[in-house]
Amino acid sequence: MAADHPPEPSTTCRRSTTASPRTKFPAPFLSKTYDLLEEEEGGDENSSSGRRIVSWNSEGNGFVVWSPAEFSEQMLPRYFKHNNFSSFIRQLNTYGFKKTASKRWEFQHEKFQKGCRHLLMEMSRKKCESSVFPTYLKPSSGESSSNNHHHNQTPSSSSIEEESMVLLMEENKNLKREKMELEMQIDHFKSLETKLLDCVSHYMGNDYQYQHNADSNKTNRLR
Query: Where do the domains of the chain lie?
Result: 25-147
Q: Which residues of 27-51 are buried (b: 16+ CB within 10 A; e: fewer)?
A: bebbeebbebbeebeeeeebeeeee
What band does 19 get if pLDDT is binned at 50, 70 and 90?
A: very low
What band does 3 get if pLDDT is binned at 50, 70 and 90?
A: very low
What band does 7 get if pLDDT is binned at 50, 70 and 90?
A: very low
What is the sign of the dihedral through the CA atoms of 93, 96, 100 and 104?
Answer: negative
Average the pLDDT over 42-48 and give the result. 55
CA 60 – CA 113 distance, rounded (Å): 6
Instruction: Supply the pLDDT for residue 160.
Output: 64
CA 114 – CA 179 distance, rounded (Å): 38
Note the pTM of the prediction, 2 decimals.
0.50
Between 7 and 80, name the one with better pLDDT.
Answer: 80
Residue 51: strand, helix, or coil: coil
Digit-coded pLDDT (tens) for 50-66: 678 999 999 999 999 99
* Extended strands (E) in the chain: 54-56, 62-65, 98-99, 105-108
What band does 213 get if pLDDT is binned at 50, 70 and 90?
A: confident
Helices (H), 27-84: 28-42, 68-70, 76-80
Of the candidates 129, 135, 133, the residue with the CA atom closest to the CA atom of residue 96: 135
CB 139 within 8 A of CB 102: yes
Between 28 and 187, name the one with better pLDDT.
Answer: 28
What band does 28 get if pLDDT is binned at 50, 70 and 90?
A: very high
Does position 10 have pLDDT exceeding 50, yes or no? no
Between 2 and 116, name the one with better pLDDT.
Answer: 116
Between 84 and 164, name the one with better pLDDT.
Answer: 84
Domain at 25-147: CATH code: 1.10.10.10
CA 198 – CA 95 distance, rounded (Å): 47
Average the pLDDT over 76-93 and give the result. 91
